[in-house]
Chain A
Amino acid sequence: MPIDVPARVLANRRLSDDYNVLALAAPAIAAATQPGQFVMLKAAAGVDPLLRRPFSVFEILRDTSGAPNAITVLSKRIGPSTRLMFDAEPGGVMACLGPLGRPFAVVQPPSEAWMIAGGVGLAAFATLAEALAARGVKSTLFYGARRGEELFYLDLFRARGVELVLTTEDGSAGERGRVVGPLDRRLAALDPAMPLMLYACGPEAMLAATARVAARHRRPCQVSVERIMGCGLGGCYSCVIPMRDEDGAFHNVRSCLAGPVLPADRIRWD
């Protein structure tokens, strides 16, 4: 059951002019969150901005005894709420509702796990990488950004034993181009008998391209979608995405309840 807490801002790490990571004191949410779940944050009290915004739980922080006591969220400054989050100072309070949504299904060895992240889509994968490492699953992160300075937290993933495959649109780090390029080549080179799960989070164009590549190589793929969301609890019907049911018919499903993690091969990408 989700809870709503007034979460104190413990730290605000600005990664660039647009990206920041907020640490929020929310022990009960931190303890209950599974990889892929999200919280609804209200960046400021009052009615303008009015709505909460959804954020993947990026990291789960622990106190000295190892007990979960805080979460972090990775934010990109786009609108009024993310601007407030970028400017937030330690000591401030944000209403934090969560954990919400259906988590990633975490594979077991001998399966490998490949994570595909674009931009702030990286946020879904720190907790997943930790869960995979805990199970001894060999994992790789395909991570794309506009430029090298926007590839963040590489050490966090390296520390969890994740192999990194980096791309940038301007070629300033890693391979020039989009992240599905090396993904496609690696999939082609992989022994088809090797069990593998793909996990993707990022812009929808990237998710759609990843879904196509996954289908071509006949690999299962879980995508974490980021639709414009009003409430996070199934009340508003804003965050729908067309999904194929058992009979082959498409229906608009609420990504807050059915997702945000959904099977890529059942989604219709518009």
Chain B
Amino acid sequence: MKVCVCVKHIPDPTMPMVVDSGTKRLVRDRGQSILDPSDEFSVETALKLVEEHGGETVAITMGPDGAEDALRRAMAMGIDRATLINDDALAGSDVVSTARALAAVLKNEQPDLVICATESTDAYTGMVPGTLAELLDLPLVSFARSVTVDGSSISAQQDTESGYRTVQASLPALLTVTASIAEPRYPSFKGMMQAKKKQLERINVAALGLDSASVGEAGAREKVLSVAQVHQEKQVRTVVDDGSGDSVVEIVAFLKSIQVV
């Protein structure tokens, strides 16, 4: 089976987010950007499925030059080859224009299964996978905590608020996975060396046959009017506990003051 994984190169989520006041876009610094940690679960799922059923794995992303790093990381984990959709015309893409670009590559690839994270760890809209499924006319199997492929059928346990439900669809399909699906493998040294030599194709808007008015900022329907900084000043009372646990006296007093106890 052929499995395509859509990934994203994002600013390190442990660092504060910086929004450029001119472009009103998130500042993306290559040196402080990583493969989205949620994408590691998609990569792991793809690798496991292909280890079990045979086939090929492809990672796809859209982004500036630096996004190559995310694809190399995915290939270091074991993905066979990758495609970077890279074009200045793509800057400022919103949900629909991002999905259009990814869909164009996926239409050429014709995979049996597309895997995405449920949402990216920078923008968090969680909309691209479902929009992509619609553009590709694929069934969407979302929020999977486990997945099984049997012939041309895919079944998954899908998270619900009160537990889970088992759902089933036919391949080809688009799957989104949660962090409980599998423990992502760590790239080996050998994997990292091999990743440098694996095929990485760069493709631009024209080569994808996309109208440049339908992608990037030109195609974006979502417009940021303004961004503002908010800073909450809070009166913090800090107590240092020397390891004795004596600070509990302070906590109990605080709990009494707010009438919790």
Q: Do A and B bind each other?
A: no
Chain A residues with a Cβ under 8 A of chain B: none
Chain B residues with a Cβ under 8 A of chain A: none
